[in-house]
Amino acid sequence: MSISGIYGSLISTWVYGLQAGGAAAIMWSWIVGGAGALALAVSLAELSSAYPNAGAMYYTLRFLAPEKHMPLLCWMSGMCPLNIQDLVRQVVYVANDG
């Protein structure tokens, strides 16, 4: 879960919350969303403590994924972040150098 994009998109979507339910709806959505984020963080912390290893989610998926889908899910867990980093690098390169 990432919070890096929340401040950039907050102002652009604020008007919908104000129109739909007002300031109270916005505050309650932050409280409920915060509780959901906390539950996700606690769940991932519990998984990480159950399978401590330097391999992180790649290693954890080895034990939690169904046997049939384990190779694909482990590969996706390892390769998707690398592909996203390469994509960002390429976009920045094209934007700066042409």
pLDDT tens for residues 19-37? 888 888 888 888 888 888 8
Q: Where are the domains of the chain?
A: 1-50, 53-98
- pLDDT tens profile 26-76: 888 888 888 888 888 888 788 777 767 666 676 777 777 788 888 887 777
The amino acid at residue 79 is M
The DSSP output letter for 14 is H
Instruction: Find all residues with CB under 8 Å of 29, minimum gap 6, and list them.
Output: 17
